Structure 1
Amino acid sequence: MTNLAKARLLALILPTALLAGALGSQYLGGLYPCEMCHWQRWPHYAAVAVALVAILARNSALSRPLTLLAALLILGSGATGIFHAGVEYGWWEGLTRCASAGVGGSTADVLAEIMATPMIRCDAVQWSLFGISLAGWNALFSILGGSAIVALCLKRPR
């Protein structure tokens, strides 16, 4: 397997795995995402799509730039994770208000759902491991485990 093929595969697998973890913690673990949690997911969704196109275009000159774009998207999610972790730990002020899950239906249904859904604060750590929040783990995996390794795999040999 070539380095470019490895980079394409990693650019697909890493954001897919991170999204699976985020969605699993939401739907199976009951951790509702705040607005900044969603901000971290959007670049991963885009990275998955771009990496899929890069894999489909593997024999094209577009494969390398698309894979690099996927790495940059993963890096963007990691940068957002750093910002979110800083807000959670009180290092700086956040940009958002509290958020709740989206609802639909009649007015009474919407009101009942709003009242039953907890307010999710972007500046409160809902879960951590070894003192690192989910936003921090996303930053570590996205920057060190993802975009950096993809970029190294894309480096052309001299």
Structure 2
Amino acid sequence: MTLTGTKQPDMTRILGGLFVLAGLAALGTAWFAEHRLLLAPCELCLWERRPWRVLIAIGVLTLAVPRRYARYSVLAGLVCVAVSIGLAVLHAGVEHKFWPSPAPECRAPVFHGGSFKDWMASMPSRPNKPCDSPDYLFGLPVSMTELGGLYAVAVFVLGSLGTVRLFRSRG
């Protein structure tokens, strides 16, 4: 209770909700871009979705566990968002051709010798989008990868501020 008699909101519940909503927003945006805007994701784009799925689970866990244990899941959520930032930096570097993609699916298959039939048999069953081919939305000079990275940074900053407040209030 504060001096005014109102109860302060529980920061662990706020951060758990932030994690769930941030993950749903990120995956919802990716779904919209893929299924409504018909943008094909590359392999690194698919990698970037994984931390958001984990973050949703961490957010649900944070909301479900007793408050004294929730601080640990909050820290795990921050690590998860940091991984998302790292993947966005990795992908942006590939888009800007600073380094090659670590995903073998992002590279064109190399074929040495043989017939046309052998070459066709070595092709993947479904064509992949090159990871160094960025998608730009609405005429912005920032790729979807970079926008996703900026979003992850914003979620990380909000989560970090809440975590600092959480740990200060617990003494």
TM-score category of the 2 structures, normalised to the smaller one? 0.7 to 0.9
1:6-21 equivalence runs, <5 A: 6-21=14-29
* Structure 1 residue 60, shift from structure 2 partner: 3.5
CA offsets per residue over residues 40-85 of structure 1, 9 Å max, x none? 111110110111011111x332211112211211221121011101
The unaligned stretches of length 5 or more in structure 1 are 100-110
| Match of residue 107 from structure 1 | none
What corresponds to 2:100 in structure 1? Answer: 93
Question: Is the CA contact (8 Å cut-off) linking 2:52 and 2:81 kept in structure 1?
Answer: yes
Distance, in Å, in 1 between the alignment partners of 2:155 and 2:93 is 21
| Matched residue type, 2:78 | A
1:33 aligns with one of 41, 49, 65: 41
> Which amino acid is the alignment partner of residue 40 of structure 1?
E
**Aligned partner (choices 136, 159, 162) of residue 127 of structure 1:** 136
**Structure-1 residue corresponding to 2:148:** 138
Based on CA coordinates, which of the two structures has the bigger radius of gyration?
2
Q: CA deviation at 1:23?
A: 1.2
Distance in 2, matches of 1:5 and 1:60, equals 8
Q: What is the CA–CA distance in structure 2 between the aligned matches of 1:64 and 1:38, rounded to whole Å?
A: 29
- Percent identity (aligned): 20
Structure 2 length-normalised TM: 0.74
Higher relative contact order, structure no. (Cα contacts within 8 Å, ≥ 6 residues apart): 1
Letter in 1 for 2:83: G
* Residue 85 of structure 2: aligned partner: 78
The CA RMSD over aligned residues, in Å, is 2.0
| Secondary structure at the counterpart of residue 34 of structure 2 | helix
Which range is displaced more, 80-89 or 125-134? 125-134
